[in-house]
Amino acid sequence: MRHLKHSRTGFVLAALISLLATPGLGGQPPSPPEGWTDGFVIANGIRIHYWRTGGDKPVLIMLHGSSDNGLCWTNLAKELTNDYDIIMPDARGHGLSDPPSKSDTADAQAEDIAGLIGELKLNKPIVMGHSMGSSSAAWFAAKHPDIPRAVILEDPRLVPRTTSVTNNANNNTNAAAVAAAAAQEKRRQHILARNNMSYDQIVAEQLKRNSGWGRSEIEIWAESKRQHHPNTAYRSRSGRPPMSDLFARITAPTLILKADDQGELRQKNIEVTRILKQGRIVHIEGARHNVRRDEKQRLLRSLKAFLGEL
């Protein structure tokens, strides 16, 4: 009986050690894949942090969406590292990069990309972005059309928002300023509240909301929420050109990987894409805004086909 008791104790201890060593449990995010490196550059007036997979291969820059960080590309990047040296920067106010300020220009993130490329001395990189990152990628490619080899946009907003609230606010400058300040402060407090959640709390909450992403994706994603700086609430959307204006100035081959929009919105997406000189749009079946997280394999098929043509 004594031997059996010790055996059970040893089994429980081994199980506990194994559980704590599992990536994403015990309050710790999973480590980046072996061989990936990170670094910093000073560009466009701030310190920018980035991750890099390395190798003497064509460069693919991946720009994450709002509240994410560079490592949020991990699961997609691992599918492409055999053929590309992938660079995943943290946008200002995200990950380990410097926070933004109220004085930032509307095109600050687009110029951050140009500065990063210059500091790392990259030649004709492919630039890919998701959501906020897709907006930055498109603006960068429009301002610097000779730099990118190609542009890939994951669910960019192609049709501008038009709401009665916005139109009414624009009729009263003071009311618009008050409403904008209130919205910014509410956003800052929301970000700060999530900063103060534990890693495990964020994982558990997101597993309830988006279990279809898979635990691995959520474990990587969760740490970015704790790093997200509240001052990103100050990021200005005024002065940002609509995608139709940017697309008229982009000359590089461009792929748009869009959520599965339907009806009139789908047709408007297609119409805007026609402005591109070398562009195509693929509405990914079953995907919502986080296209690669919702339908990774379908996105990969379209992405690899496009990359294979470059």
| pLDDT per residue as tens digits for the range 210-248 | 999 999 999 999 999 999 999 999 887 778 899 999 999
Structural contact between residues 76 and 292, judged by C-beta atoms closer than 8 angstroms? yes
pLDDT at 272 over 60: yes
What is the side-by-side order of every strand in the sheet holding 150-154? 37-43, 46-52, 85-89, 59-63, 126-130, 150-154, 254-258, 279-283
The length of the chain in residues reads 310
- DSSP summary character for residue 39: E
How far apart are alpha carbons 71 and 174 in whole angstroms?
Answer: 40
87 close to 117: Cβ distance less than 8 angstroms: no
Residue 6 has a pLDDT of 41
pLDDT of residue 17 exceeding 70: no
Residue 23 has pLDDT above 80, yes or no: no
| Whole-number Å distance between alpha carbons of 65 and 131 | 5
What angle (nearest 5°) sits at the alpha carbon of residue 152, between those of residues 148 and 157?
120
**C-alpha to C-alpha distance for 75 and 24, rounded to whole angstroms:** 14
The mean per-residue pLDDT over the stretch 170-175 comes to 73
pLDDT over 90 percentage in the chain: 81
Six-digit token pair at 164?
């009665």
Among 138-152, 181-195, 232-246, the minimum mean pLDDT is found in 232-246
In the predicted model, is pLDDT for residue 20 greater than 60?
A: no
Structure tokens at 61: 């820059």
Find the mean pLDDT for residues 294-299.
Answer: 98
What average pLDDT score do residues 57-85 get?
98
**Where is 86: in which H helix or E strand?**
strand 85-89
Rounded to the nearest 5°, which phi and psi values hold at 162? -135, 110
Q: Report pLDDT for 134.
A: 98
* 37-159+186-309 carries CATH number 3.40.50.1820: yes
- pLDDT higher than 60, residue 170: no
Which of 74-83, 90-99, 116-125, 166-175 is predicted with the least confidence, judged by mean pLDDT? Answer: 166-175
Radius of gyration over every alpha carbon of the chain, rounded to an integer in angstroms: 21
What is the per-residue pLDDT across 76-111, written as a single tens digit (0 to 9) for each? 999 999 999 999 999 999 999 999 998 999 999 999
User: Does 7 score more than 50 pLDDT?
Assistant: no
What's the CA gap between 19 and 210, in Å, rounded? Answer: 23
Token pair listed for 179: 């409403």
Quote the mean pLDDT of the chain: 90
Domain boundaries, the chain: 37-159+186-309
Q: What is the DSSP string of 223-251?
A: HHHHH--GGGGG---TTPPPHHHHHTT--
pLDDT of residue 137: 98
Res. 27: pLDDT tops 90: no
Element containing residue 50 per DSSP (H, E): strand 46-52
Six token digits for residue 150: 């190609």
Q: How far apart are alpha carbons 285 and 173 in whole angstroms?
A: 42
Output the CA angle 5-10-16, nearest 5 degrees: 130
Per-residue confidence (pLDDT) for residue 4, from 0 to 100: 40
**pLDDT higher than 70, residue 33:** yes
Q: Say whether pLDDT at 2 is over 90.
A: no
Pair of tokens at residue 202? 């964020």
C-alpha pair distances (Å), 27 with each of 34, 58, 218, 229: 21, 36, 13, 20
Q: Phi and psi of 140, rounded to 5°?
A: -60, -50
Euclidean distance between CA atoms 10 and 62, whole angstroms = 46
Give residue 224's identity as a one-letter amino acid code. Answer: S
